[in-house]
Amino acid sequence: MTITATPTPGKSLISPTDHMLILIDFQSQMSFATKSIAPELLRNNAALISRAAQSFGVSTILTTVAEKSFSGPMFDEITDAFPGQKLLDRTSMNTWEDAAVIEEVNRIGKERIVFAGLWTSVCIVGPVASAIDQGFDVYFIADACGDISEEAHERAVQRMIQLGATPMTSLQYLLELQRDWARAETYDSTTGIAKEFGGAYGLGIKYAKAMFGASEGSH
């Protein structure tokens, strides 16, 4: 049997229109105890994925837990990317057990969900496990999640992978949405996000542009 290759993307690759993004409990109180990732890197990665989702028009749910009474406000890096969007505040640790969140999930109506937030072993594992049980195709952005220790984070990551969830990273999320530098309508936005939040890769883009006038769309 001969297999014929075609220039088409794999079905497991995400696109701007085939998923929703759910950002969970990126809040002050939750971040104070997060030790698996440095707070400045966590905030950077939260900003990266938020701006990626905003740039590509990804349907996004923002949810908090006990915002007024305990956990505090959601990171500005996220809310600034979605000005005026309502935050769905919960009492449940498992986002999937909150009726308002599920109403929004059903309104958006996507079968693929990407999760990120705090903490990995509680507030991410809970909805990931629940969504998988109900037949959703689930991804999580591992470096935009954090926990009280590296052990807690890594065991949670293992558990979610064993359940069938697919791990990603923040920069991978942005670049997978773009996927082709010939997509001119989002080229400037994508490279702009990468320059600001993409670490050494972003510095490389700035260097190539400044020194040689180079761009990723060139051959």
What distance in Å separates the CA atoms of residue 212 and residue 150, rounded to the nearest whole number? 41
For the chain, give every domain's residue range. 20-177
Rounded to two decimals, the pTM is 0.93
What distance in Å separates the CA atoms of residue 200 and residue 36, rounded to the nearest whole number? 21
What distance in Å separates the CA atoms of residue 35 and residue 150, rounded to the nearest whole number? 7
What confidence tier does 201 reach under pLDDT thresholds 50, 70, 90? confident
Contacts of 137 (CB under 8 A, 6+ apart): 111, 112, 113
What confidence tier does 200 reach under pLDDT thresholds 50, 70, 90? confident
Structure tokens at 170: 């923040």
State mean pLDDT over 93-118.
Answer: 98
State mean pLDDT over 114-142.
Answer: 98
pLDDT in tens, 34-72: 999 999 999 999 999 999 999 999 999 999 997 776 778
Q: Which CATH superfamily is domain 20-177 in?
A: Isochorismatase-like (3.40.50.850)
What confidence tier does 74 reach under pLDDT thresholds 50, 70, 90? very high
Q: Residue 57's pLDDT is what?
A: 98
pLDDT in tens, 17-38: 999 999 999 999 999 999 999 9
Q: Residue 183's pLDDT is what?
A: 94
β-strand pairing of 137-146 with 166-168? parallel
Beta strands in 111-165 (DSSP E): 112-118, 137-146
What confidence tier does 1 reach under pLDDT thresholds 50, 70, 90? confident
